[in-house]
Structure 1
């Protein structure tokens, strides 16, 4: 007659490379059922070893202790199939969310790297742009310090999160007025533009020819670069059709170093 094999708690701990406290916890929640010898020491059976194998495997698959306990209390094939199918669905959902996050990160990187590829030598060029959709959040002058508050309020009212990292915050400039700080033009409107990211849009930039110029550094440079662009338009017999726009490809949302800012100025002409 074969002798029934029993295991001390230390043997079980070493066999499964888990702490003694973990084994005691599994006993406490009802997963393990040791017997006591004459000296009141815990002794674990081969079925406890089976349960430990099950615990290890199901924990690795993402199940928690309560899931495992419910299975041990109703250890049937249908229960196991349902457990695995439910976990598979949960993993599919998690993978979809992770893929969405990965896409968002990739799109932001594309936007930033594309901005960094721009010629920032402050050379004026004439470019043709198609109609561009954007999200206007302010139609009028807006102090710079209130932009983030206004954006947060816009999010709240529209129940949709709007990205800022890798997205252009853009300012329609009033050439006839300087802001309170004296370092940039006042604004006539504020909008966000994101060709690589999903964006809730409510306005458009018209198709047409635009004088463009890109620079690195603070917004104060626009004060002398916009007149330079207007003079260029005059010398090349171009009619100015709209106000200058600052496209802030890289600014406070991506860096605190002003010398890393990358601003593009555009003026629509014909």
Structure 2
């Protein structure tokens, strides 16, 4: 085994770019000597340090941490370094488990939605549902998506994953009484858990539900069908009707796969 290696040999041996090796020298982590021709010459001690640098970099330690460790290497510092890494790994595992739960929740919701029966009216009971909303006037499909993005931007510290949220848009009961069915007055997110950070509530109660599949172009007709069903069956509308987008353009670009649920809180 040679006593000294040139920078190119070290670079090839460890898969470390020569710029990185020069950087390690610049910050004082490595101190190669210069040969007669001016080439950097790395000895076995430098190689030992490179082993440590490589291992600690793989464990996500910063070069500042590594430099400090190499300068004060002891069993106590090694134990402290490993404990710090364990804590970092535990934090990453916690984040991964949380992400896994979010993805699993969305997967289950999509599977349930895809297998839902459409075209029938049902009455569902719901508790209070806390929501975040954005008031706006919407007459076209693309305006709903833009409004939802604005709402998400407004609350991005609370809503991290827009694809995993229950998203809706509501009509005005006053508009419906005037025969206006094509204008949505606000969009909203239904929050997953009870929280104080909401700005309106979908009240607990009985909701008439109607699921339809396909393009949003049929929205006005489906809402009219729902209102006619309410009137024909002796129900009374208590609040603004709304649509929930169970499968939407965050899930598929095929409009025939879109799944929308109309809900209206009612009383007999």
Regarding TM over 0.5, the answer is yes
Q: Summarize the alignment of residues 32-51 of structure 1 with structure 2, pairs less than 5 Å apart.
A: 32-51=30-49
Task: Note closer, same or farther for the CA distance 1:162–1:206 as it changes in structure 2 (3 Å cut).
Answer: farther
TM-score between both structures, scaled by the size of structure 2 = 0.74
Q: Distance in 2 between matches of 1:147 and 1:42?
A: 60
Residue 131 of structure 2 corresponds to 135
TM-score by length of 1: 0.74
Aligned to 1:118: 116
Q: CA deviation at 1:41?
A: 4.4
Residues 36-115 of structure 1: matches in 2 within 5 Å? 36-115=34-113
1:5-52: CA deviation from partner (whole Å, max 9, x where unpaired): 512215444543444454444333322233345555443332222212
Please give the per-residue CA displacement for 1:215-235, whole angstroms capped at 9, x wherever unaligned.
123344233333433444455
Q: Which runs of 4+ in 1 moved over 6 A?
A: none
Separation in structure 2 between the aligned mates of residue 177 and residue 219 of structure 1, nearest angstrom: 22
Q: Please point out which of 213, 224, 229 is paired with 2:226.
A: 229
Deviates more, 1:224-233 or 1:78-87: 224-233
Q: Structure 2: 5+ residue runs without aligned partners?
A: none
Distance 1:218 1:6, change over 3 A: same
Q: 1:224 to 1:76 in 2, by over 3 A?
A: same
8 Å CA contact 1:58, 1:68 repeated in 2: yes
Which structure would you say has the larger Rg?
1
For structure 1, which runs of at least 5 residues remain unmatched after alignment? none
Residue 176 in structure 1 maps to residue 171 in structure 2: no
- Aligned residue in 2 for 1:239: 235
In structure 1, distance between residues paired with 2:51 and 2:132: 59
Alignment of 1:18-33 (within 5 A): 18-33=16-31
3-state DSSP class of the match of 1:30?
coil
> 1:188 and 1:150 mapped to 2: Cα distance?
14
Deviation at 1:133, TM superposition (A): 0.9
SS of 2:183's equivalent in the other structure is: strand
